[in-house]
Amino acid sequence: MSAFNLALESGDVAHNEAPLANGEETHTVANAIAEAEGLAQEAADAEGVASDLDDEQEQTEELAETVEAEVAQEGALDPTAARLLHLSFRNIVGKQQAAKLPATESWAGTRAAARENTRMALESIKDTLKQFWEAIKAQFKKVYAKVKDWIVKTFSTAKKLKDRAEKLQSRANGTVGTIEDKQFSFGQTKAIAVDGKYNEPGALLSGLKEIRGLITGTISELKKDAVDGAIEDLTNALKGAFTGSGKTRSLGNLGNLTAAVKKGVQGASTKATPATVGDVTKYNAQYGEASEVDVTGVFGLPGGKAVLQVAFKGTSSDIEGAVKELRTGRLVLASDRYQARDVTEGDVKTLNTSQVDKLCDDVIEIAESVYGFEKNWKENERVVEKVQKEVDDIVKDFDREDEADARDQRHFRNFANGAMAALRRHANFKASLCSYAISTGNAFLNYGERSLGQHKTK
């Protein structure tokens, strides 16, 4: 069943967000991380539906444009084209919605009847596109609420993680003795492995240090509202670009609009520089046409992860280019080298007390950076709410203009959807990055704690 049809059946055009987590936490760090991972999966499921809605909306827009081109050339659809329209529309939005089109057998009548059926079909598609916006808006609220629950749990978990790291560090500093077992079996090798390897302590600790630098540096950039603020600017540029009304609508401010797009999708600094990652074309192809997408980032992080910055290679000299750039650009926490490595459990080498001390320093810094970001997250929530409301108001005003050019409407809706998708993706990235840092930091603490257990005290 299509995501659009599911959205209509749910009737969920409003969403009551879950309250913020509060009260004294009694869980262990491991249990808190498990809860956060459960919330992360709920957010991922909601994001999957949102992405499907975006794709279905885009396909419906393309279908509308194809029909309009056929009508402009022939004046009306013939029976064969009408059957293809039914089939395509049903494949996108489902049988129930497709039933709103004139029945295929009714196209075999007079030319006048064919023209009337064509008009009615286009009206049905236009109404469906308006419904798409309501579905996309409702799903945006669902996704954001899920991400909010997830990141709030991550913030509270970060505080527990810091407490645990400080206690372990104190134990390490108070441990005097020799290492009895040089290595031991460790069940979280996949979480700490760097480039698929987990038997070299120096490389593992360097990987943790890389996370520390990445999280502190990127969080600092995110506190500057590098993306959320730019999306707000983009919304204002959107208002300016679509001035006037109907067929006299002017895109004279398109330059301001496309400049705001570039700023909105460039993301925060991730030390992103071109790197040798194997077949770069495969990386690019995950996020768009390889000829139009450029992927750079920080690769080889513990747990087989990479932080990618995806950019549009082309130029957004027109509204269609601006939409493509907006939909393409993003920051994402992804699998290193295209897909997760298969890392089996094995023996790791025992850390000495100074290495455990260093490990704890990094985890403490990571935890402080994450829960210090909570205030900024709450401030950004207001920006997201404001942008969502303003874009919704613009869409409704635009759709009330019966004389508006259909091509303008398509570009406008695509741009509005792209702006909302950019906000949605960026919220997911922030939650993903913070959650990854906390769960990986906890795995390293487990490694340090097990290492101390191998020391024979004097």
Residue 100 has pLDDT above 90, yes or no: no
If you average pLDDT over residues 107-126, what whole number do you get?
85
CA–CA separation, 331 and 311 (whole Å)? 9
The yes-or-no verdict on residue 37 having pLDDT over 50 is: yes
Place of tokens 């480039």: 195
- Alpha-carbon torsion, ordered 228, 421, 402, 71, to 10 deg: 140
Q: What is the pLDDT of residue 280?
A: 64
CA gap 50, 44 in Å, rounded: 10
395 and 416 Cβ atoms separated by less than 8 Å: yes
Decide if pLDDT at 216 tops 90.
no
Handedness of CA 180, 181, 187, 193 (dihedral sign): positive
pLDDT surpassing 70 at residue 275:
no
Q: Is the pLDDT of residue 443 over 80?
A: yes
User: What φ, ψ does residue 294 adopt, rounded to 5°?
Assistant: -125, 125
**pLDDT-derived band of residue 419, with 50, 70 and 90 as boundaries?**
confident
Altogether, the residues listed in the chain come to a count of 458
Please check the confidence at residue 11 and state whether its pLDDT lies above 80. Answer: no
Predicted pLDDT of residue 249: 47
pLDDT for residue 229 is more than 70: no
- d(C-alpha 281, C-alpha 91), whole Å: 30
The DSSP string of 266-317 is S-S----B----S-HHHHHHTSS-TTTEEEEEEEEETTTEEEEEEEE-S---
The stretch 63-69 carries a mean pLDDT of 85
Domain count, the chain: 1
Cα 119 from chain centroid?
A: 38
Strands 346-349, 177-179: pairing kind = unpaired
Tell me the C-alpha distance between 367 and 231, whole Å. 28
pTM for the whole thing? 0.84
Listed in sequence order, the DSSP H helices in 78-224 are 79-93, 95-98, 111-173, 189-192, 201-222
What is residue 317's predicted lDDT score, i.e. its pLDDT? 64
Supply the pLDDT for residue 292.
79
Question: Does 338 or 456 have the greater pLDDT score?
Answer: 456
The pLDDT-based confidence of 24 (bands split at 50, 70, 90) is: very low
- Which residue has better confidence, 117 or 271? 117
Assign 406 a pLDDT band (cuts: 50, 70, 90): low
Q: Tens digit of pLDDT for each residue in 288-344?
A: 777 778 887 788 899 989 888 887 777 666 667 777 777 887 888 888 876 666 777
Q: What is the pLDDT of residue 396?
A: 78
Sign of CA dihedral 255, 256, 259, 265: negative
In this predicted structure, what is the pLDDT of residue 225?
Answer: 56
pLDDT band at 273 (very low <50, low <70, confident <90, very high): very low
Q: What is the pLDDT of residue 438?
A: 96
Pairing of strands 177-179, 455-457: antiparallel
| pLDDT attached to residue 198 | 92
- Boundaries of domain holding 245: 3-457
Please report the pLDDT score of residue 228 as a whole number.
Answer: 62
Q: Whole-angstrom Cα distance, residue 188 to residue 344?
A: 9
d(CA 44, CA 428): 8
Which one has a higher pLDDT value, 6 or 448?
A: 448
Residue 108 has pLDDT above 80, yes or no: no
Indicate if the pLDDT at residue 101 is higher than 80: yes
Asked whether the predicted pLDDT for residue 96 surpasses 50, the reply is yes
pLDDT greater than 80 at residue 206: yes
pLDDT for res 109: 77
Higher pLDDT, 360 or 2: 360
Percent of the chain with pLDDT over 90: 30
At 278 the pLDDT is 54
Rank 62-76, 239-253, 366-380 by mean pLDDT and report only the highest: 366-380
Q: Token digits for 196?
A: 């698929």
- For residues 422-432, give the mean pLDDT: 87
pLDDT value at 267 more than 50 = no
pLDDT of residue 103 exceeding 60, the answer is yes
What's residue 17's pLDDT? Answer: 34
pLDDT greater than 50 at residue 27: no
